[in-house]
Amino acid sequence: MAERHGFDVLSVFGDLMYQPSLFPLLVAARHTRRIRLGAACLNPFTLHPVEVAGQVAALDLASHGRAYLGLARGTWLQQVGVAQTRPLRRIAETVQIVRRLLAGDDGGFVGREFTVAPGTALRYAPARAGRAGAGGHLGASRPPGPPPRSPTR
């Protein structure tokens, strides 16, 4: 129905204490062919970047490469005792980790908020793995200052 009415994108809110956005997005992937699909928005305070990458990869597979990722610092986290310190850095590092994992990079990551050990990789191939611009549907700018250190292979 969304495609018949000319929509290009379907976003599903991923707010805490509501149904996770992945389920309705997977249903939409099954019933659409053209529109881009994504959560609006996941947050790196309740989901580790590796889990975020797994959700994007699963949706990307189900939608044949139409997934995108929305990230935000989240809301209502104070109700469950989750502090939201350094949200820009946390979001920026999440974007870097998710892009690497979606591209099949298992070189690891060492940042100020997150660490991912070398050898960590998704155990299945996302739809965009190995393509030029893998992770290209991830939009965020890096906060000012030097980039986080990452290990070399």
Break the chain down into helix, strand, coil percent, rounded to 5.
Answer: 30, 15, 60
pLDDT digits (tens, 9 = 90+) for 29-65: 999 999 999 998 899 999 999 999 999 999 999 999 9
3 state SS of 93: helix
Count of beta carbons in the 10 Å neighbourhood of residue 57? 21
Least confident of 5-14, 31-40, 49-58, 134-143: 134-143
Task: Look at the pTM and tell me if it is higher than 0.85.
Answer: no
**CB distance 84 to 45 below 8 Å:** yes
What single string gives the DSSP state of each residue in 118-144? Answer: TT---SS--TTTTSTTTTTTB--PPPS
Q: In the beta sheet, which residues pair with residue 69?
A: 39, 138
How far is residue 63's CA from residue 32's CA, in Å, rounded to a whole number? 8
